[in-house]
Structure 1
Protein backbone atom coordinates (compact mmCIF):
# COMPACT_ATOMS: atom_id res chain seq x y z
CA UNK A 1 0.00 0.00 0.00
CA UNK A 2 1.32 3.41 -0.91
CA UNK A 3 0.31 6.74 0.66
CA UNK A 4 -2.66 7.23 -1.70
CA UNK A 5 -3.98 3.79 -0.75
CA UNK A 6 -3.61 4.68 2.93
CA UNK A 7 -5.47 7.95 2.40
CA UNK A 8 -8.23 6.06 0.59
CA UNK A 9 -8.53 3.53 3.41
CA UNK A 10 -8.65 6.29 6.05
CA UNK A 11 -11.29 8.22 4.11
CA UNK A 12 -13.45 5.15 3.51
CA UNK A 13 -13.24 4.19 7.19
CA UNK A 14 -14.66 7.61 8.03
CA UNK A 15 -17.40 7.55 5.37
CA UNK A 16 -17.92 4.57 3.05
CA UNK A 17 -20.57 6.51 1.10
CA UNK A 18 -18.12 8.99 -0.42
CA UNK A 19 -18.27 9.14 -4.22
CA UNK A 20 -15.19 8.39 -6.27
CA UNK A 21 -15.04 12.10 -7.13
CA UNK A 22 -15.09 13.10 -3.45
CA UNK A 23 -12.47 10.47 -2.64
CA UNK A 24 -10.30 11.68 -5.52
CA UNK A 25 -10.42 15.21 -4.16
CA UNK A 26 -9.46 14.04 -0.67
CA UNK A 27 -6.54 11.83 -1.72
CA UNK A 28 -5.20 13.78 -4.68
CA UNK A 29 -5.91 11.25 -7.44
CA UNK A 30 -8.36 10.92 -10.31
CA UNK A 31 -11.79 9.29 -9.76
CA UNK A 32 -10.81 6.49 -12.17
CA UNK A 33 -7.58 5.86 -10.27
CA UNK A 34 -9.53 5.79 -6.98
CA UNK A 35 -11.97 3.28 -8.41
CA UNK A 36 -9.11 1.02 -9.61
CA UNK A 37 -7.31 1.31 -6.29
CA UNK A 38 -10.47 0.50 -4.30
CA UNK A 39 -11.09 -2.58 -6.46
CA UNK A 40 -7.47 -3.69 -5.95
CA UNK A 41 -7.75 -3.16 -2.17
CA UNK A 42 -10.97 -5.19 -2.13
CA UNK A 43 -9.39 -8.02 -4.12
CA UNK A 44 -6.37 -8.00 -1.78
CA UNK A 45 -8.70 -8.34 1.22
CA UNK A 46 -7.69 -4.98 2.69
CA UNK A 47 -11.15 -3.48 2.21
CA UNK A 48 -14.09 -5.58 3.26
CA UNK A 49 -17.79 -4.97 2.68
CA UNK A 50 -19.15 -1.48 3.39
CA UNK A 51 -21.68 -1.26 6.21
CA UNK A 52 -23.68 1.37 8.08
CA UNK A 53 -23.12 1.66 11.82
CA UNK A 54 -26.24 1.67 14.00
CA UNK A 55 -26.68 3.55 17.27
CA UNK A 56 -27.39 0.83 19.87
CA UNK A 57 -29.57 3.19 21.93
CA UNK A 58 -31.76 3.94 18.91
CA UNK A 59 -32.58 0.24 18.47
CA UNK A 60 -33.00 -0.59 22.16
CA UNK A 61 -29.65 -2.35 22.57
CA UNK A 62 -28.05 0.07 25.00
CA UNK A 63 -26.56 -2.38 27.50
CA UNK A 64 -23.05 -3.64 26.73
CA UNK A 65 -21.54 -6.50 28.69
CA UNK A 66 -18.02 -7.87 28.45
CA UNK A 67 -18.30 -11.58 29.07
CA UNK A 68 -15.54 -14.09 29.71
CA UNK A 69 -16.20 -17.81 29.53
CA UNK A 70 -14.21 -20.91 30.29
CA UNK A 71 -14.77 -24.05 28.26
CA UNK A 72 -15.23 -27.48 29.82
CA UNK A 73 -13.25 -29.15 27.05
CA UNK A 74 -10.50 -28.00 24.72
CA UNK A 75 -11.00 -30.95 22.40
CA UNK A 76 -10.98 -29.61 18.81
CA UNK A 77 -14.51 -30.85 18.06
CA UNK A 78 -15.93 -29.40 21.30
CA UNK A 79 -14.28 -26.04 20.56
CA UNK A 80 -15.58 -26.08 16.98
CA UNK A 81 -19.14 -26.71 18.20
CA UNK A 82 -18.90 -23.96 20.82
CA UNK A 83 -17.48 -21.45 18.34
CA UNK A 84 -20.22 -22.28 15.83
CA UNK A 85 -22.79 -21.64 18.57
CA UNK A 86 -21.13 -18.34 19.57
CA UNK A 87 -20.98 -17.10 15.96
CA UNK A 88 -24.72 -17.78 15.61
CA UNK A 89 -25.83 -15.70 18.60
CA UNK A 90 -27.00 -12.22 17.52
CA UNK A 91 -26.34 -10.73 20.99
CA UNK A 92 -22.62 -11.42 20.60
CA UNK A 93 -21.07 -8.54 18.69
CA UNK A 94 -17.45 -9.61 19.09
CA UNK A 95 -15.85 -12.82 20.32
CA UNK A 96 -12.18 -13.62 20.78
CA UNK A 97 -10.42 -16.85 21.66
CA UNK A 98 -8.04 -15.83 24.42
CA UNK A 99 -4.82 -16.91 26.07
CA UNK A 100 -4.67 -16.98 29.85
CA UNK A 101 -7.25 -17.90 32.47
CA UNK A 102 -10.35 -17.42 30.30
CA UNK A 103 -10.94 -19.14 26.97
CA UNK A 104 -13.17 -16.52 25.31
CA UNK A 105 -13.88 -12.82 25.68
CA UNK A 106 -16.92 -11.32 24.03
CA UNK A 107 -18.95 -8.14 23.85
CA UNK A 108 -22.67 -8.69 24.27
CA UNK A 109 -25.35 -6.08 23.50
CA UNK A 110 -28.86 -6.35 24.88
CA UNK A 111 -31.82 -4.12 25.68
CA UNK A 112 -31.58 -4.43 29.45
CA UNK A 113 -30.15 -6.43 32.34
CA UNK A 114 -33.11 -8.83 32.26
CA UNK A 115 -32.38 -9.57 28.61
CA UNK A 116 -28.78 -10.31 29.47
CA UNK A 117 -29.81 -12.57 32.32
CA UNK A 118 -32.09 -14.53 29.95
CA UNK A 119 -29.29 -14.90 27.41
CA UNK A 120 -26.73 -15.94 30.02
CA UNK A 121 -28.84 -18.24 32.21
CA UNK A 122 -31.13 -19.83 29.62
CA UNK A 123 -28.81 -19.96 26.64
CA UNK A 124 -25.08 -19.61 27.10
CA UNK A 125 -24.60 -21.40 30.42
CA UNK A 126 -26.71 -24.28 29.12
CA UNK A 127 -24.26 -24.97 26.30
CA UNK A 128 -22.59 -28.33 27.00
CA UNK A 129 -19.07 -26.91 26.64
CA UNK A 130 -19.43 -23.80 28.82
CA UNK A 131 -18.02 -24.33 32.32
CA UNK A 132 -18.26 -20.87 33.87
CA UNK A 133 -18.46 -17.18 33.07
CA UNK A 134 -17.68 -13.71 34.40
CA UNK A 135 -19.69 -10.65 33.34
CA UNK A 136 -18.59 -7.02 33.36
CA UNK A 137 -21.22 -4.35 32.64
CA UNK A 138 -20.09 -1.24 30.76
CA UNK A 139 -21.08 1.91 32.64
CA UNK A 140 -20.37 4.25 29.73
CA UNK A 141 -18.59 4.17 26.40
CA UNK A 142 -15.39 6.17 26.56
CA UNK A 143 -14.22 5.36 23.05
CA UNK A 144 -15.61 3.38 20.15
CA UNK A 145 -14.17 3.24 16.67
CA UNK A 146 -14.13 0.85 13.78
CA UNK A 147 -11.33 2.75 12.00
CA UNK A 148 -7.94 1.06 12.06
CA UNK A 149 -4.87 3.29 12.12
CA UNK A 150 -3.25 2.99 8.68
Structure 2
Protein backbone atom coordinates (compact mmCIF):
# COMPACT_ATOMS: atom_id res chain seq x y z
CA UNK A 1 0.00 0.00 0.00
CA UNK A 2 1.70 3.16 -1.17
CA UNK A 3 -1.02 5.67 -0.29
CA UNK A 4 -2.65 6.11 3.06
CA UNK A 5 -6.26 4.94 2.82
CA UNK A 6 -8.88 7.49 3.83
CA UNK A 7 -11.28 6.02 6.35
CA UNK A 8 -14.65 7.48 7.24
CA UNK A 9 -16.65 7.46 10.47
CA UNK A 10 -18.19 4.04 9.78
CA UNK A 11 -14.75 2.53 9.05
CA UNK A 12 -13.50 3.98 12.35
CA UNK A 13 -16.45 2.47 14.19
CA UNK A 14 -15.80 -0.88 12.49
CA UNK A 15 -12.14 -0.80 13.48
CA UNK A 16 -13.02 0.20 17.03
CA UNK A 17 -15.57 -2.60 17.46
CA UNK A 18 -13.38 -5.25 15.84
CA UNK A 19 -10.45 -4.33 18.10
CA UNK A 20 -12.73 -4.80 21.10
CA UNK A 21 -14.14 -8.15 19.94
CA UNK A 22 -13.25 -9.74 16.61
CA UNK A 23 -15.69 -12.59 17.23
CA UNK A 24 -18.73 -10.31 16.97
CA UNK A 25 -21.31 -11.43 14.40
CA UNK A 26 -21.71 -9.39 11.23
CA UNK A 27 -25.29 -8.58 12.21
CA UNK A 28 -24.28 -7.26 15.64
CA UNK A 29 -21.38 -5.36 14.15
CA UNK A 30 -23.65 -3.74 11.57
CA UNK A 31 -26.06 -2.69 14.30
CA UNK A 32 -23.29 -1.18 16.41
CA UNK A 33 -21.82 0.87 13.58
CA UNK A 34 -25.11 1.88 11.98
CA UNK A 35 -24.71 0.18 8.62
CA UNK A 36 -26.17 -2.81 6.79
CA UNK A 37 -24.65 -6.26 7.22
CA UNK A 38 -23.63 -6.36 3.55
CA UNK A 39 -22.03 -2.92 3.79
CA UNK A 40 -20.06 -3.99 6.88
CA UNK A 41 -18.86 -7.11 5.15
CA UNK A 42 -17.71 -5.14 2.08
CA UNK A 43 -16.00 -2.53 4.26
CA UNK A 44 -14.21 -5.23 6.27
CA UNK A 45 -12.94 -6.87 3.08
CA UNK A 46 -11.74 -3.47 1.80
CA UNK A 47 -9.98 -2.77 5.12
CA UNK A 48 -8.31 -6.19 4.91
CA UNK A 49 -7.28 -5.64 1.28
CA UNK A 50 -5.77 -2.26 2.20
CA UNK A 51 -3.79 -3.84 5.05
CA UNK A 52 -5.64 -2.01 7.83
CA UNK A 53 -7.11 -5.23 9.24
CA UNK A 54 -4.85 -8.20 9.83
CA UNK A 55 -5.42 -11.72 11.02
CA UNK A 56 -7.75 -12.52 13.90
CA UNK A 57 -6.30 -13.89 17.12
CA UNK A 58 -7.48 -14.63 20.66
CA UNK A 59 -5.60 -13.15 23.61
CA UNK A 60 -4.27 -15.69 26.10
CA UNK A 61 -3.80 -15.05 29.81
CA UNK A 62 -0.04 -15.73 30.15
CA UNK A 63 -0.06 -15.69 33.95
CA UNK A 64 -2.74 -18.40 34.07
CA UNK A 65 -0.45 -20.53 31.91
CA UNK A 66 2.50 -20.05 34.23
CA UNK A 67 4.23 -17.38 32.14
CA UNK A 68 3.51 -14.29 34.16
CA UNK A 69 6.92 -12.61 34.28
CA UNK A 70 7.63 -9.90 31.73
CA UNK A 71 11.25 -8.91 31.25
CA UNK A 72 12.35 -5.90 29.25
CA UNK A 73 15.82 -6.48 27.88
CA UNK A 74 18.04 -3.96 26.13
CA UNK A 75 20.49 -5.56 23.72
CA UNK A 76 23.71 -4.30 22.19
CA UNK A 77 25.11 -6.36 19.34
CA UNK A 78 28.80 -6.59 18.42
CA UNK A 79 28.50 -4.55 15.24
CA UNK A 80 25.89 -3.18 12.87
CA UNK A 81 26.88 -5.15 9.80
CA UNK A 82 24.08 -6.58 7.68
CA UNK A 83 25.25 -10.12 8.47
CA UNK A 84 25.20 -9.52 12.23
CA UNK A 85 21.82 -7.80 12.31
CA UNK A 86 20.24 -10.41 10.02
CA UNK A 87 21.64 -13.25 12.14
CA UNK A 88 20.41 -11.65 15.35
CA UNK A 89 16.95 -10.83 13.98
CA UNK A 90 16.59 -14.37 12.61
CA UNK A 91 17.52 -15.75 16.03
CA UNK A 92 14.97 -13.45 17.72
CA UNK A 93 12.22 -14.54 15.34
CA UNK A 94 12.88 -18.19 16.21
CA UNK A 95 12.36 -17.77 19.98
CA UNK A 96 8.84 -18.08 21.36
CA UNK A 97 9.83 -16.49 24.69
CA UNK A 98 10.52 -13.21 22.90
CA UNK A 99 7.13 -11.57 22.50
CA UNK A 100 8.28 -8.29 20.97
CA UNK A 101 11.48 -6.94 19.47
CA UNK A 102 12.20 -3.39 18.39
CA UNK A 103 15.25 -2.08 16.57
CA UNK A 104 16.17 1.06 18.50
CA UNK A 105 17.95 4.36 18.15
CA UNK A 106 20.26 5.47 20.94
CA UNK A 107 22.69 3.49 23.08
CA UNK A 108 21.03 0.07 22.64
CA UNK A 109 20.41 -1.73 19.34
CA UNK A 110 17.28 -3.65 20.36
CA UNK A 111 14.57 -3.72 22.98
CA UNK A 112 12.97 -7.08 23.73
CA UNK A 113 9.94 -8.06 25.77
CA UNK A 114 10.48 -11.57 27.02
CA UNK A 115 7.80 -13.66 28.72
CA UNK A 116 8.94 -16.35 31.16
CA UNK A 117 7.68 -18.36 34.13
CA UNK A 118 9.99 -16.91 36.79
CA UNK A 119 13.41 -15.36 37.43
CA UNK A 120 15.14 -18.73 37.26
CA UNK A 121 13.53 -19.44 33.89
CA UNK A 122 14.72 -16.07 32.60
CA UNK A 123 18.24 -16.59 33.92
CA UNK A 124 18.43 -19.93 32.12
CA UNK A 125 17.12 -18.40 28.87
CA UNK A 126 19.45 -15.40 29.10
CA UNK A 127 22.62 -17.28 30.03
CA UNK A 128 22.18 -20.39 27.87
CA UNK A 129 20.52 -18.87 24.83
CA UNK A 130 20.57 -15.10 24.38
CA UNK A 131 24.07 -14.27 25.62
CA UNK A 132 25.57 -17.24 23.75
CA UNK A 133 24.43 -15.95 20.40
CA UNK A 134 27.53 -14.92 18.39
CA UNK A 135 26.15 -11.46 17.59
CA UNK A 136 25.66 -10.47 21.24
CA UNK A 137 27.83 -7.87 22.91
CA UNK A 138 25.84 -7.12 26.07
CA UNK A 139 22.37 -6.85 27.54
CA UNK A 140 20.52 -5.19 30.37
CA UNK A 141 17.42 -6.73 31.94
CA UNK A 142 14.54 -5.07 33.76
CA UNK A 143 11.74 -7.03 35.44
CA UNK A 144 8.19 -5.71 35.32
CA UNK A 145 6.80 -5.57 38.85
CA UNK A 146 3.21 -5.23 37.70
CA UNK A 147 1.29 -4.57 34.53
CA UNK A 148 -0.25 -1.12 34.86
CA UNK A 149 -1.61 -1.02 31.32
CA UNK A 150 -1.76 -3.45 28.45
CA UNK A 151 -3.56 -2.52 25.28
CA UNK A 152 -3.90 -4.12 21.88
CA UNK A 153 -6.25 -1.60 20.30
CA UNK A 154 -4.71 1.05 18.04
CA UNK A 155 -6.02 4.54 18.85
CA UNK A 156 -8.39 5.77 16.18
Query: What residue number does 1:124 align with?
Result: 130
In the alignment, does 2:149 pair up with 1:143?
yes
- Aligned residue-pair number: 150
Partner of 2:4: none
SS in 1 for 2:83: helix
2:63 match? 57
In structure 1, the gaps of 5 or more residues are none
- Residue 77 of structure 1: how far off its partner (Å): 1.3
Of residues 44, 51, 56, the one that matches 1:45 is: 51
- 1:90 paired to 2:99: no
CA distance in 2 between partners of 1:32 and 1:117 (Å): 53
Consecutive unaligned residues in structure 2, runs of 5 or more: 1-6
Asked if 1:74 is matched to 2:80, the reply is yes
Match of 2:31 among 25, 42, 56: 25
The one-character-per-residue Cα deviations of 1:62-87 (angstroms, maximum 9, x if unpaired) are: 00000000000110111011101001
Moved over 2 A (4+): none
Distance, in Å, in 1 between the alignment partners of 2:10 and 2:112 is 35
The Cα RMSD (Å) is 0.5
Q: What TM-score do you get using the length of structure 2 for normalisation? A: 0.95
